[in-house]
């Protein structure tokens, strides 16, 4: 009996041992495959080419001389100082002109211009270019097309003044006086550069003043309001023009003169007349002159 029990225990222990051993069995080692992974490098796009640095633009007009006209209300700059020169004239078409400046360029005010697209002097050799706008101002361009190129003495620009009646006409001088700077290769290019500095300004008329303008001799005088009732009388004495500015007076000493006193008397000489008169020991005092006359 005891032997049977021992046999059963032994068999049971063998089964239990077998079950435990089966659960703890270590699997056979597997072959390991090693694979090299090559990293993928993304190419960066090449940087876009940068534009070459442009040199800072130089304003060649910075040191130019300013010319300002308060009567007609404009200003501009030129390489050399301009000189005022009031001179009355006319074109071949009967249009009256007022030359304001002697120098380069010449500046004139044109009266009675009816067609801005035509040269006011009626020169058949002048060719109108398309209008150009410089600083907001529309200019009509003319130049002599001789030889297919603009001549240095023939370029002209004109535009309407703000008053809607007058025209400002700006042109170059003759070939011998053309600008010599390299950047001013032609008169058209030069005038464009000049007009890049042009602008209209307010016409300054002093309050309570009255202006006497003599178109015949090309001068004007501005008086205070006390001269309001003046009269300008022109006479000629020995071929010398005399302008007398007279005022009414209550002074009985002037009764024989029509109650007018002459506080201002201007003698006007031609250049030839003055050349002779100024040589005399006693002669009038020089006041001012324009292109044609001397005022004393």
**What's the rounded mean pLDDT across residues 37-43?**
61
pLDDT attached to residue 266 = 93
pLDDT reading at 153 higher than 70: no
Identify the band that residue 179 occupies on the pLDDT scale cut at 50, 70 and 90.
very low
- What end-to-end distance do the CA atoms of the chain give, in Å? 173
User: What rounded mean pLDDT belongs to the chain?
Assistant: 75
For residue 8, pLDDT over 80 is answered with: no
Q: Which of 218, 176, 191 is nearest to 90 (CA)?
A: 218
Residue 108 has pLDDT above 90, yes or no: no
Which span out of 166-175, 183-192, 222-231 was modeled with the highest average pLDDT?
222-231
Overall average pLDDT of the 16-26 stretch? 56
12 vs 249, more confident: 249
Question: Is the Cβ–Cβ distance between 228 and 209 less than 8 Å?
Answer: no
Query: Can you give the pLDDT at residue 215?
Result: 78
Cα 153 from Cα 149, distance rounded (Å): 12
pLDDT of 172 over the 90 cut: no
pTM of this prediction exceeds 0.75 = no
Q: What does the domain layout of the chain look like in residue ranges?
A: 65-200, 209-295
Give CA–CA dist 110/158, Å, rounded. 9
Q: Which range, of 58-67, 118-127, 177-186, 216-225, averages the lowest pLDDT? A: 177-186
- Residue 97: the pLDDT is 79
Whose CA is closest to 128, among 103, 154, 161, 108?
154
- Band the pLDDT of 54: cuts 50, 70, 90: low
> Could you give the CA distance from residue 58 to residue 44 in angstroms, rounded to a whole number?
40
Stretch 62-80: mean pLDDT: 87
pLDDT at residue 148 greater than cutoff 70: no
pLDDT band at residue 185 using 50, 70 and 90 as cut-offs? very low
Report the percentage of the chain scoring pLDDT > 90: 10
More confident residue, 143 or 275: 275
Residue 275 pLDDT class (50, 70, 90 cuts): very high
């Amino acid at each position: 009996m005891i032997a049977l029990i021992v046999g059963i225990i032994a068999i049971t222990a063998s089964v239990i041992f077998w079950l435990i051993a089966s659960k703890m069995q270590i699997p056979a080692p597997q072959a390991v495959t090693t694979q090299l992974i090559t990293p993928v490098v993304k190419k960066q796009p090449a940087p876009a080419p940068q534009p070459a640095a442009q040199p800072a633009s130089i304003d060649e007009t910075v040191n130019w001389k300013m010319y300002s006209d308060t009567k007609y209300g404009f200003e501009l700059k030129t390489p050399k100082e301009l000189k005022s020169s009031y001179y009355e004239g006319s074109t071949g078409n009967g249009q009256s002109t007022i030359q304001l400046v002697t120098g380069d360029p010449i500046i004139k005010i044109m009266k009675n211009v009816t067609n801005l697209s035509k040269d006011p002097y009626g020169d058949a050799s002048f060719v109108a270019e398309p209008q150009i706008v410089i600083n907001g101002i529309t200019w009509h361009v003319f130049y002599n097309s001789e030889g297919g190129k603009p001549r240095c003495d023939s370029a002209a620009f004109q535009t309407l003044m703000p008053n809607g009646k007058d025209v400002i006409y700006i042109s170059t001088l003759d070939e011998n006086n053309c600008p010599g700077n390299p950047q001013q290769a032609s008169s058209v290019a030069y005038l464009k550069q000049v007009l890049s500095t042009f602008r209209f300004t307010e016409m300054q008329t002093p309050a309570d003043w009255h202006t006497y303008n003599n178109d015949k001799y090309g001068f004007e005088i501005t008086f205070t309001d006390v001269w309001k009732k003046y009269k300008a009388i022109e006479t000629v004495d020995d071929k010398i023009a005399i302008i007398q500015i007279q005022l009414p007076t209550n002074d009985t000493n002037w009764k024989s003169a029509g109650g007018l006193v002459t506080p201002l008397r201007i003698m006007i000489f031609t250049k030839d007349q003055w050349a002779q008169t100024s040589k005399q020991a006693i002669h009038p005092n020089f006041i001012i002159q324009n292109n044609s006359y001397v005022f004393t």
